[in-house]
Chains A and B, each alone.
Chain A
């Protein structure tokens, strides 16, 4: 039956409308749970607030378990799902830059836009920085092209590249998530509380 759009259950013309609706809900939830505060986001790195880690880890675990159960029950064909292509060094370098930006600015690109929407000045500056970065990247595109385009490994998953049983991987991943939650809670108790 699923995925709904590729199998024609929902016509493909609804793509953008659904995207807008999901975007609105996502933005609302992000803001409502305080993710538009750079202090909350930076808290992961300083150890006084692990909400970001918990939220994203929980989301990933719930989604992956749900997807595999639906695949097992035949509601969703997992092979039809989009797998993001892997450009190895592009991903590593991009990840480092994004991480530095995250800890320095206190936003990830999504939450920064959310914070702009509620009028935070630091977020406006941050988004300005993103734009400058995009401009520089576009201007130097031919220079970055070998990394941007190279080291391509196809649309691989861990299942393909490491040859692990996906069910065991989901189980181990959930264990890691729970361990991360416990450890982060312990760290948070030790770190001096900060009011923000």
Chain B
């Protein structure tokens, strides 16, 4: 597009075409430009900032128990990145223990991108548990 416009302006500067011709050509160029389709526009979804954990449990003792926790996702991300600092000896021991318990997970193979994906996977997480007398909700906001 810019190249064609430049060419028209160059022709105008060289005197090969008149100003009116140049205007018509540029207008034709703009007409040919495809209008942006609605499918190209990605809706900007606001990313959640916090993980919320609510729990409301009826207790037979002094009264009800309530938990209301709000943790920034940035904090989760920072905490998860700390796993890269685990000493190699500890990684080996953790891997061995995990294998012994039937979880074939190698912490050394975890890449930062995978951890990012893990955090991003939380964006759509919603856990809603409703039990007579007890309620629990985990979600991102």
A and B: partners? Answer: no
